[in-house]
Amino acid sequence: MEWAIFFIIASVTLIYALMPLMGGRQVWQEAPDAKDEQIKSLEMEKASFLKALKDIEFEFASNKINNDDYDKLRNHYRLKLAEVMKELGGNRDIKGGGNKENTDG
């Protein structure tokens, strides 16, 4: 009788412990889409360039940088920002967002 109870308890415990291995694989979280990751990265770049432009404006206003440096830095970051925004616009058009132009003649 003792062996029967031990066998039942051991069997139930073993089955309970092995159930996750016998079942199908469950995906708890979807894999991130590569396009979404690229857009997220571009948005972060855009934010950093905007912050850099804001910092440059502040430093110029407080006379920490001269006019030539201000122009060079501002133009550099504005070009970088334009490139990122152009890429973002292209990615959004692919995903169905972005600017929609009026094509009525």
Per-residue pLDDT of the chain (105 residues; tens, 9 = 90+): 788 888 888 888 888 787 777 766 666 666 667 788 888 999 999 999 999 999 999 999 999 999 999 999 999 999 999 999 999 887 655 444 444 444 444
> For 31, phi and psi rounded to 5 degrees?
-70, 140
| Angle between helical axes of 34-61 and 67-95 (0-180°, round to 10) | 160
- Each domain of the chain, given as residue ranges in start order, spans 44-93
DSSP string, 32-91: PPHHHHHHHHHHHHHHHHHHHHHHHHHHHHTTSS-HHHHHHHHHHHHHHHHHHHHHHHHH
Task: Name every residue whose Cβ is closer than 8 Å to that of residue 89 and which is 6 or more positions away in sequence.
Answer: 98, 99
Amino acid 102: pLDDT: 46
Amino acid 95: pLDDT: 46
Amino acid 99: pLDDT: 47
* Amino acid in the structure at residue 70: Y
- Mapped onto helix, strand or coil, the DSSP state of residue 14 is helix
Specify the residue for token string 């972060």.
Answer: 44
DSSP 63: T
Amino acid 19: pLDDT: 76
